[in-house]
C-alpha cells in the first residue's frame, strides 16, 4: 500500500483536563501516515486522482484549533475518524504530541498514536 506522510504539523489548541490548559492553551503536533492507492495519480499526474494535501491539513487544523477535548486520546481518535470519513484512505495512523503536559519531571513530550482502518469507523 502506498503512503502519504504529514510530519509535525503544528497547531495551538486548548485540550486537557485542567482549567489552566483550557484557558491558556498550548502547542500540539500532529503526524499522519495515510495509506491509499496512489497508482492512478502516479500515472496521470492529476490532482483529481489523489487527495489534496491542503484539504487534509485544514481538516486536522479545524479539529485541533476549533474544538476542545479533555483527553489527547479523544483528540487523536476524532482526527482519525474524521479523516477516514472525509477522504478515501484505507488506513490512517495519527500521532498527537503534547510537548508540555502538566507533569512534574523531565521529558520531551507525551504522545498518543492510533491506527484506524476504514472498516473501524461507523457508517
The domain that holds 100 is classified in CATH as 3.30.1130.10
Q: What is the mean pLDDT of residues 47-60?
A: 97
What 3-state class would DSSP assign to 107? coil
| All cell numbers assigned to 14 | 486548548
Catalytic site residue from 40, 66, 95, 98: 98
pLDDT band at 123 (very low <50, low <70, confident <90, very high): low
Range of the domain at 82: 2-120
What integer is the mean pLDDT of 61-80? 98
Q: How high is the pLDDT of residue 62? A: 98
Question: For position 122, what pLDDT does the model report?
Answer: 61
Number of residues that make up the chain: 123
Q: Tally the domains of the chain.
A: 1
**Measured between alpha carbons, how far is 50 from 40 in angstroms, rounded to an integer?**
8
Q: Rounded mean pLDDT of 70-76?
A: 97
Active site residue 98: yes
- pLDDT score recorded for residue 48: 94
Average pLDDT over residues 44-69: 97
Q: What is the pTM of this model?
A: 0.93
Q: What pLDDT, in 10s, does the model give residues 104-120?
A: 888 889 999 999 998 87
**What's the pLDDT band for 9 if we cut at 50, 70, 90?**
very high
Amino acid at each position: 500500500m502506498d503512503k502519504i506522510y504529514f510530519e509535525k504539523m503544528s497547531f495551538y489548541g486548548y485540550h486537557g483536563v485542567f482549567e489552566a490548559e483550557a484557558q491558556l492553551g498550548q502547542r500540539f503536533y500532529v503526524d499522519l501516515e495515510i495509506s491509499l492507492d496512489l497508482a492512478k495519480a502516479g500515472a496521470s499526474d492529476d490532482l483529481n486522482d489523489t487527495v489534496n494535501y491542503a484539504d487534509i491539513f485544514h481538516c486536522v487544523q479545524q479539529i485541533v484549533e476549533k474544538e476542545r477535548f479533555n483527553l489527547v486520546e479523544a483528540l487523536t481518535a476524532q482526527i482519525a475518524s474524521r479523516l477516514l470519513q472525509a477522504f478515501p484512505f484505507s488506513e490512517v495512523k495519527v500521532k498527537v504530541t503534547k510537548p508540555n503536559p502538566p507533569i512534574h519531571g523531565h521529558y520531551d513530550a507525551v504522545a498518543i498514536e492510533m491506527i484506524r482502518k476504514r472498516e473501524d469507523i461507523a457508517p
